Structure 1
Amino acid sequence: MELGFDVRITSWAEEAERRIEPMRRKLDAIVDYNQWKVIRAFQKHRVSDYHFASSTGYGYNDSGRETLDLVYADVFGAEAALVRPHFVSGTHTIGTALFGVLRPGDRLLYITGRPYDTLHNIIGKPGEGNTGSLRDFGIEYDEVPLLENGGVDWEGIRAAWTPNTKMVGIQRSRGYDWRPSFSVAQIGEMVRFVKGLASETESEVVTFVDNCYGEFTERLEPPEVGADLIAGSLIKNPGGGIAPSGGYIAGRRELVELAAYRLTAPGIGGEVGAMLGATRAMFQGLFLAPHLVGQAVKGSVFAAAMFEQLGFESHPRWEEERTDLIQAIRFRSAEHLIAFVQGIQKAAAVDAHVVPEPWDMPGYESPVIMAAGTFIQGGSLEMSADAPIREPYIAYVQGGLTYSHCKFGIMTAIQCLVDRNLL
């Protein structure tokens, strides 16, 4: 036994690392590109230590906040950005973007199937009371399911198109689906297609991308292939495991301004907002993000290789291209699933003694089990895993601030399965 691992697990890990070495080198090249891109943006806007100073009250003339917005806009290839600790989650950030742009009578059309569970309450459900959803404000919603192979249904989009389709939603990551996440190139193809449909009906459409989990996994970001607006969370990729909270919205200047009016108030927008000491962590987190995302993606590749060796299905497979952090692993029963997630928790540096159990988490439609021994509560750039307890029994693993921790987490989870005679 080495550090408590069965010798078979150590052997499996050594074999997996030999197999994935070419992929790790390929990922290193993406890390280098994105790291240099971030540094260039810092240099262009002359980031200095006085930009890290805290602000209070209204936060007027906060040069750190203003410069952070400019740096984010450059990094993501956008005209403008809104980066704030006041966004409480990715869901809040996405909701701010949707409510900021859409108006009564407009229609939101998601073309990547049903979006992530936590957005369902933002969209609203038929027959619900006055909850403040998009539906309550007279904003229509529809979605085009993906094809069986996880691809976009181009003819389905054409059939669902209406002249009042004001916004098209694209979810980059898989969410709780057994499908590929979408690459930036594929997002560009979607953008061109729907812009063409809008042109045919002599209307305009805003293309919105939920960019969560995808930042810095590729060389390009969605605005660089034509997306009008993107949003994401700072407790995921771009916060670098350091930002204590927050989110970002980036894209066309007038759309970012509308989102800022929703975050604060019309006429105020992004001109105010005390940063309350968070600015340094947000800058430093962005600086570290390309490297840490690379560590996490390597960890996902390792996880896929390990479980494929053991006869489990993984998505994506270890040798496939990556466009987000998430690694899906399909298990044979709820017992396998629960043991795996509990094993990930057991490998944490924080709260390793806690044993997660399935529970009815707000915003989710099935009981969910979550492993999250993180320094930032809910920080999914850190090693974490979650799964709805429903068939097929799929665990979604994301994050890991160091590749070594990713390895430790996967090996500990496998040891948990071995100890319970599930392997």
Structure 2
Amino acid sequence: MAWLVWALHPVNPQVVFVDKILMNSLEQLQQAEKELLPIFYGIDAQVKQNLQRVLDAFRYNNVGSHHFTGVSGYGHDDLGREILDKVFAQIMGAEDAVVRVQFVSGTHAIACALFGVLRPGGEMISVVGAPYDTLEEVIGLRGHGQGSLIDFGINYRQLDLTPQGTIDWQSLSQSVNDDTSLVLIQRSCGYSWRSSLSIAEIERIIKIVKKQNPNTICFVDNCYGEFVETIEPTHVKADLMAGSLIKNPGGTIVTAGGYIAGRSDLVEAAACRLTAPGIGSAGGATFDQLRLLFQGLFLAPQMVGEAIKGTHLISYVFDKLGYPVNPTPFTPRRDLVQAIELGSAEKLIAFCKAIQNNSPIDSYLHTIPHKMPGYESQVVMAGGTFIEGSTLEFSADGPLREPYVVYCQGGTHWTHIAIALETIINVLGANENLRNIR
């Protein structure tokens, strides 16, 4: 009867291809997991170091359950918030910090820092090429009349990267002058193909800048970088840095906010832009979020470790599939971003759709490219996250422009990323092979 069954249900060669792809994807993932075990062990050891740093700061500042109770109204004399600032500053190796739910994003925290310390007639230099898309309107490279830095008479220059996508160290050593008020050091690659910066590279930039002008402020956009290494930019004498709490330091449970850390006078100047001169860091109710802020900070090293494991897994698998990846497999991580050059809008959308379908929240939604505030190109985003926009939870996005690169970030469990990868490989592989056999 077997022949009759086959006659009634002939084997579809397309289905055979899909089955083979499924088997290959599982084998590839299993091989990747075996190969990456030593890397994963090293990441766990680093998590332990970072957790020790966090735990030491909590214990030194005698954090207790009474610090979870905030105040309302103006937010004056909020003991929990004041202790949180001290804990955060100690962890980051900074003189001071402001950790506030009033920062709506990392871009907002960065903007407050820049507007807080720059003055008309001063100059800012971006020393790692073009800044991230959302900073372009803050600086004044796009948009007009909204009060950008350029609108306020602050001059802007940028040092382009070398053709190899690296820092132009020669130009940097000759670029800073007496009028240079601040250099912008973007740690993460953003929507570019360059390598993200290591702490050692950031330290080298700072030394070169300070040799030319000791008064130039070295400011680091630290988004996606916290707890990726065992020290932060302020440990190597960055004057100021800023980031988002729905990225690394929020531990995936903080609902909103950002931080600024660094030299006390500069932190206070930035806080005055968030609130007002005369209020600065003394204001800002915490809206009963203090427990989450403390707990998220405690969880952050572990969550970052899981996300780093995920970047290694994605890089290994897609490199084996023949896609250009950045960083490459086994390369030490400098942030939580893993880029893959997919080569077509169709693949970019399909990739993000597969991640959305494997998300715990809103898995039934379709990813559609759309215009987003602050971005030049249409962007396709996947993020079925518990905290809207959280990029420490597993997510991906990319601008709808050539060469159609997808940027993956986050992941609370590397195993969740492995599960999603099975679907992604199958979707991309099936589309490719089905096209070829038609």
Q: What TM bracket, shorter-length normalisation?
A: over 0.9
Question: Does residue 1:334 correspond to 2:350, yes or no?
Answer: no
- Name the counterpart of 1:132: 147
SS in structure 2 at match of 1:81:
strand
Question: Does residue 1:60 correspond to 2:76, yes or no?
Answer: yes
- Name the counterpart of 1:263: 274
- Report if the CA contact (8 A) 1:383-1:409 is conserved: no
User: Structure 1, unaligned stretches of length 5 or more?
Assistant: none
- Name the counterpart of 2:37: 21
Once the two structures are superposed, what CA deviation does each residue of 1:178-213 show, in whole Å capped at 9, x if it has no partner?
1110000110000000000115xxxx1000000000
- Report if the CA contact (8 A) 1:359-1:367 is conserved: yes
**Shift of the alpha carbon at 1:161?**
2.9
So what's the TM-score if we normalise by structure 1? 0.96
**Shift of the alpha carbon at 1:422?**
5.6
- Measure the CA separation in 1 of the matches of 2:384 and 2:64: 33
- Name the counterpart of 2:162: 147
Once the two structures are superposed, what CA deviation does each residue of 1:205-227 show, in whole Å capped at 9, x if it has no partner?
00000000000010110011110
Once the two structures are superposed, what CA deviation does each residue of 1:297-331 show, in whole Å capped at 9, x if it has no partner?
00110001111111111111120010100001111
Q: Which runs of 4+ in 1 moved over 6 A?
A: none
Aligned AA (1:69): D
**Correspondence for 1:79 among 91, 95, 109:** 95
Q: Which moved more, 1:144-153 or 1:249-258?
A: 144-153
Question: Does residue 1:91 correspond to 2:104, yes or no?
Answer: no
> In the superposition, relative to structure 1, how do residues 422 and 182 fare at CA in structure 2: closer, same or farther (>3 Å)?
farther
Structure 1 residues 247-262: aligned runs within 5 Å: 247-262=258-273
- Report if the CA contact (8 A) 1:260-1:269 is conserved: yes
- Measure the CA separation in 1 of the matches of 2:356 and 2:259: 28
- Name the counterpart of 1:353: 364
So what's the TM-score if we normalise by structure 2? 0.92
SS in structure 1 at match of 2:172:
helix
SS in structure 1 at match of 2:255:
coil
Once the two structures are superposed, what CA deviation does each residue of 1:226-281 show, in whole Å capped at 9, x if it has no partner?
10001000000000000000000000011001011111111111112110111110
- Name the counterpart of 2:46: 30
- Report if the CA contact (8 A) 2:105-2:244 is conserved: yes
- Measure the CA separation in 2 of the matches of 1:82 and 1:260: 7
Q: Which moved more, 1:269-278 or 1:188-197?
A: 269-278
**Shift of the alpha carbon at 1:159?**
4.3
**Shift of the alpha carbon at 1:406?**
1.4
Report which of the two structures shows the higher radius of gyration computed on alpha carbons: 2
Percent identity over paired residues: 48
- Measure the CA separation in 1 of the matches of 2:432 and 2:356: 19
Aligned AA (2:256): S
- Name the counterpart of 1:215: 226
SS in structure 1 at match of 2:228:
coil
SS in structure 2 at match of 1:160:
coil
User: Structure 2, unaligned stretches of length 5 or more?
Assistant: 1-14, 16-20
Aligned AA (1:17): E
Question: Does residue 1:295 correspond to 2:311, yes or no?
Answer: no
- Report if the CA contact (8 A) 2:240-2:266 is conserved: yes
- Measure the CA separation in 2 of the matches of 1:195 and 1:154: 14
- Report if the CA contact (8 A) 1:109-1:143 is conserved: yes
Once the two structures are superposed, what CA deviation does each residue of 1:20-77 show, in whole Å capped at 9, x if it has no partner?
1111111111100001110110000000001001320011211100000000000000
**Shift of the alpha carbon at 1:421?**
3.4
Number of equivalenced pairs? 415
